[in-house]
Amino acid sequence: MTKSKQSEAAGGMVKALTPAGVVSGGPAGGPVGGQLTQRPGAVSPDGKRLYLCSGDAVRSFCTATGAPLGPPLLGHIAAVTAVAFHPGVPSGTVLVTASLDGTLRTWNAVDGTQTSVLAAPGGAAVESMVAPGGKCAKGSDTVFISCWKGTNGGGAAEGETGAAAAAAAGCGRIHAYSLKKGCSVERIIKTAAPPTLACSPSGTFLGAFERHTVLVWPLERKEGGGRA
């Protein structure tokens, strides 16, 4: 059963929906603790469906009631770190997910079937992804991903292990990734560790935070060619 609660906030009332029976998941979306909403979600173009990362699964909910909509999307073998609608399909019928398992996957948003499995550059764990859409100079099928360099972080100094060692070696990468080609079409920048990506509502700017610096890239294509 879905709980709803109202809290008073500046500017009026805000309605918060709490989907019942939903937790972060391990294998097959099983409970492992943590918060369902640690990762950004995706709202359908019609505003009726909300998709949220839940462990290695993605779950969908009705935005009006918070009720679950159908079974979770299963296929990834590690935590799903991002979910978005395909930037080249404005109807909102195709979802894109990214995961620590080193893959991006596309899904039929109508029936939940998986339609493709795409390898991240070097099979690297993907920490963040945005799908700007709009008039992106890289093409309407392009998403931007933030990932590690290769599958093991590489370049660690002796005695260093895990993410800390990889970060010390500067093993983060931001790529422009073509869903049509299934590969990176540009390595945008090398970072200490994969930063969380953000995109402007209009899809014309890409942003990230790296070492006390806010980084912004223009994405929009001029009508006559080239970037705005």
For the cut 60, the answer to whether the pLDDT of residue 167 exceeds it is: no
**For the ranges 20-34, 92-106, 189-203, which has the lowest average pLDDT?**
20-34
Of the ranges 130-134, 148-152, 213-217, 221-225, the best mean pLDDT one: 213-217
Task: Give 18-77 pLDDT, tens digit per residue.
Answer: 554 444 444 444 443 344 567 889 999 999 999 999 999 999 999 999 999 999 999 999
For 165-224, the DSSP string reads: HHHHTT-EEEEEEETTTTEEEEEEEEESS-PPEEE-TTS-EEEEEETTEEEEEE-BBPTT
For the cut 70, the answer to whether the pLDDT of residue 198 exceeds it is: yes
Between CA 103 and CA 178, with CA 185 as vertex, the angle to 5 degrees is: 50
pLDDT of residue 222: 53
Q: What superfamily would CATH give domain 15-22+38-218?
A: YVTN repeat-like/Quinoprotein amine dehydrogenase (2.130.10.10)
Residue 4 gets which letter from DSSP? E
Average pLDDT, the chain: 79
Place 221 in a pLDDT band, splitting at 50, 70 and 90: low
Distances (CA, A) of 148 to 76, 87, 120, 135, 143: 18, 23, 10, 27, 16
Place 9 in a pLDDT band, splitting at 50, 70 and 90: very low
From CA 132, how far away is CA 96, in angstroms rounded? 12
The position carrying tokens 């079937």 is 113
pLDDT of residue 63: 93
| Domain definitions of the chain by residue range | 15-22+38-218
For the cut 60, the answer to whether the pLDDT of residue 187 exceeds it is: yes
